[in-house]
Amino acid sequence: MRSISVTMSVTLDGVVQGLGRPDEDTRGGFAHGGWGTRYQDDVMAREMAQGMSRPGDMLFGRRTWEDFTTAWSRREDGNPFTTHLNAATKYVASTTLDDAEAWQNSALLRGDAEKTVAELKARPGNDLSVIGSASLVHTLHAAGLVDHYTLLIHPLTLGEGRRLFEGPAPLTEFTLTGCVTTTRGVLITRYDRR
C-alpha cells in the first residue's frame, strides 16, 4: 500500500490560503495572499529539496493542479523543483475536470476524492505526496488517509482565511519525527500518524 504525505505551509493560527501570491486564492475576500514569500531562505529551500529528491508520485486537488500547471509546466530553468514536478506522475482529484492533458504525466482521478484516492493508495506503486491542495487534504484527513505531514509553521497570524484543519475529522494522533528551524523563524515539522 502506498503512503500519502502532505506538505503544507501554515500560519500560527492555522491559515493555509494564499501562500505564494496576492492573487493565488482570494476566495471569501481573502486579502493576505503572498504571506509566505518573505519567509523563504536557504534552509527552507534545502529541506524542501530533500523531500523532492525522494522518488514518488504527486497528488493534487483541481485548483492547485491548475495553478501549478500554469506556474511550472512550461518552465525550463534547471530548477530542481521544476525538474521534479514535470517528471513526476501527477494525479489530480476532481469532479469537474474533463481531462488532465494540460500538464505532462498527469492523470485524472474523476469522482469522489475519498473513494478515488483510497483506491489509488491501495494499488501498488510509488508513495504519494501532496503539496498545498487544502480542500483535498481536508477530505483525505477526514477519511484517515494521510500518513505523514510536513508542516512549515510560519511565525505570523492572519486572523482570517481557510485553515488546515477545518470541519469534522476523526481523532488522530501523530508522532513528531523531525523539526528544523529556518533563519526566518519557520518551523519545518515532520509528523507520522500513529
Q: Is the pLDDT of residue 10 over 80?
A: yes
Indicate the pTM of the whole model. Answer: 0.93
Q: Is residue 179 helix, strand or coil?
A: strand
The domains found in the chain, sorted by start residue, are 4-193 (3.40.430.10)
In this predicted model, what pLDDT tens digit does every residue of 103-158 receive, in sequence order?
999 999 999 999 999 999 999 999 999 998 999 999 999 999 999 999 999 999 99
Angle at the Cα of 151 (from 188 to 175), degrees rounded to 5? 90
In this predicted model, what pLDDT tens digit does every residue of 51-88 receive, in sequence order?
777 778 999 999 999 988 988 777 777 676 787 888 89
Q: Is the pLDDT of residue 40 over 90?
A: yes
pLDDT at residue number 91: 97
Which are the contacts of 181, defined by CB distance < 8 A and separation ≥ 6?
43, 187, 188
